[in-house]
Amino acid sequence: MSRRYKAKAIIAPSKAEIGQSLPGAFKTAGIDPQWHMWHVLLADERCVPSTDGDSNLRAIREFFTKHVAIPKEQVYGIDETLLKSGSRAVASAYQKTVESLLQKSGNMLDCVVLGFGPDGHTCSLFPNHALLEEQSVLVANIDDSPKPPPSRITLTFPVLNSLSRSVIFCGAGESKGPILEAVFGNGTATTDNEIECAGAQAFILELIDPPPYPCAMVRPNRESSLTWVVDADAADQSIRMKRNANY
Residue 211: asked if its preceding bond is cis (omega within 30°), the reply is no
Position with higher pLDDT, 131 vs 7: 131
pTM for the full predicted model:
0.90
Confidence (pLDDT) at 245? 46
Q: d(Cα 127, Cα 214) in Å, to the nearest integer?
A: 6
> Burial letters for 116-125: b for 16+ Cβ neighbours within 10 Å, e otherwise?
bbeebbbbbb
Sheet (strand 139-142) strand order: 44-46, 152-155, 139-142
pLDDT at 231 over 80: yes
Position with higher pLDDT, 39 vs 244: 39
Q: d(Cα 80, Cα 111) in Å, to the nearest integer?
A: 25
Sign of torsion over alpha carbons 18, 22, 23, 25: positive
pLDDT at 13 over 80: no
Q: d(Cα 112, Cα 235) in Å, to the nearest integer?
A: 22
Q: d(Cα 152, Cα 86) in Å, to the nearest integer?
A: 10
